[in-house]
Amino acid sequence: MNNTLIQTMKLSSAALAAVLVLAACGNADETAAQDGGFPEPNTFGSTERVVPGDVGAMRTSFAPVAAAASPAVVNIAAVSSRRTDPFFEMFTGRSRQQASSIGSGVIVRSDGVVVTNNHVIQGAQQITVTLADRREYRAEVLLADPQSDIAVLQLQDVEGGLPVLPIDDQEQHLVGDLVLAIGNPFGVGQTVTNGIISALNRTNTGISDAASFIQTDAAINPGNSGGALVDMDGDLIGINTAIFSRSGTSAGVGFAVPAQTVRQVLESALGGAEAVIRPWLGVRSEPVTAEIARSLGLPRPQGVLVTSLYPGGPGDRAGIQEGDVITAVDGVEINDASGLNFRVGSRRPGERAQIAVLRDGRVQTLNATVQPLPGDRDPDQVLIERGLMAGATVAAYSPALADRIGGDAFAAGEGVIVTRLSGRGYAARAGFRPGDIVREINGREIGSVSELQQALAASARWEVTIERRGQRITGRFG
């Protein structure tokens, strides 16, 4: 079983480094679709929530929820072909198959639609799902969304209705609410742990720059990835995804993708989409620090300062201006760019979002109709095989494509963007990076892939100007 380390968080000088660990690893990739709706949320008793007063009350409050939710939580084994033994492949012509992931998932439709983490099934050639009652099914990927780390699977040859865990649609959770984490830690079998919601709307975790997570102290360990975070109504409120840990095991700081995001990916998958299309506001921002707050006369650091706008974008059309402080979206306080991206991106394209901005000491509300980023997010791509940029895969620049590969969506005009690099190619050794936009070669403006190819072939010496994160860099090669 592999543990994937994503990011090291530096603590005080007297502390050890904390490491963000994906709760399980894995691998897959195919598509299908099926119509249908979502199950209704469960209701266990009154809507008035009462904290258990003793051990006996806790036992009686957890047992019914665990019994109702557990049958819909499944184990996932993803198998991929890897070149672990080149001699085996040389003499047999085949590559060995390895079980590279054991994770968890949640059945959300009775015909066998399952949600899990993208990293559990990523790259897998075969996926096997085992139910709590030990029935096994092969699964195909309907949609995998790396940005949210959510994947949607369809079980094959399902006969009869399967147990389902309803997705929460209330979003009324509070810090301190009791929750259960259900999954398959370390591959030992289905396990239920309990805890509370430690924090909401947690951003800047290093997992995603456009996500907002539920934080919990319920024990989450490798193998729990893709499993359920369940509230006391027995509804799915999140998909367990990652932990902060010094050792790679639970330290009481776990993160779950909230139900709102899960539902967005699920709707896209069931609608037959090949990708989740998220709208944007077209606003570049930075957090309001204590120093900025003092300069603006704010009583405390709050919101994000608008530093630039995409011309003609949703924010620009709504009347947002550079220097505005965005304090809330749809009534939810915003304090960093990730929170802003999440709140806007969780809406459907074409919907209106209420943007609260502070301008000249006064708060006003603007209505922005959010839209997808302009341009083709998946254009034709070309591998450069010779010359200065050998080993670079390039495509015509668009904000949508740049955002998909982690580049700069605010670059203006036409150009050619580097989407991938081969580690052995000359382009990587020359210092090019994915997301670089080639602007000029030997003084000639580059507006298309064909112009790039012609300029590279016309000379054996090149003066190249690229744009990287808003800065222009010129280098000479030959």
pLDDT value at residue 50: 60
Q: How far is CA 419 from CA 81, 88, 146, 337, 411, in A?
A: 25, 33, 16, 24, 15
Calculate the average pLDDT of the chain.
83
Question: What values do phi and psi take at 34, rounded to 5?
Answer: -155, 140
Question: What values do phi and psi take at 101, rounded to 5?
Answer: -155, 135
Residues in the chain: 478
- The active-site residue out of 225, 268, 285, 398 is 225
pLDDT value at residue 201: 80
What amino acid occupies position 457?
A
- The active-site residue out of 119, 168, 198, 336 is 119
pLDDT above 50: residue 9: no
For the chain, counts of helices (H) and of strands (E): 10, 29
Q: Are 439 and 453 within 8 A, CB to CB?
A: no
Question: What values do phi and psi take at 251, rounded to 5?
Answer: -120, 15
C-alpha 478/C-alpha 475 separation (Å) is 10
C-alpha 182/C-alpha 169 separation (Å) is 19
Among residues 123, 78, 70, 66, which one has the least CA distance to residue 223? Answer: 78
Letter string b/e over residues 404-420, b meaning 16 or more CB atoms within 10 A of that residue's CB = beebbbbbeeebbbbbe
pLDDT value at residue 63: 84
Segment 405-424 mean pLDDT: 88
What are the tens digits of pLDDT across the range 237-249?
999 998 776 666 6
- Beta strand pairing call for 283-287 and 304-309: antiparallel
**Structure-block tokens of residue 474:** 């010129």
What are the tens digits of pLDDT across the range 259-304?
999 999 999 999 998 888 889 999 999 999 999 999 888 888 989 9
Question: What values do phi and psi take at 235, rounded to 5?
Answer: -105, 150
C-alpha 388/C-alpha 429 separation (Å) is 10
pLDDT value at residue 243: 79
**Structure-block tokens of residue 4:** 């994937």
Among residues 271, 202, 188, which one has the least CA distance to residue 241? Answer: 202
Segment 417-423 mean pLDDT: 92
357, β-bridge pairs: 326, 364
Segment 398-425 mean pLDDT: 88
Among residues 124, 74, 118, 129, which one has the least CA distance to residue 99? Answer: 124
| Cα-to-chain-centroid distance, residue 435 | 19
Among residues 466, 463, 458, 459, which one has the least CA distance to residue 442? Answer: 463
What are the tens digits of pLDDT across the range 187-221?
888 999 999 999 888 776 666 655 689 999 998 98
pTM above 0.85, yes or no: no
Specify whether 149 is catalytic: yes
- The active-site residue out of 80, 100, 145, 149 is 149
**Structure-block tokens of residue 441:** 């070669």
Segment 15-26 mean pLDDT: 42
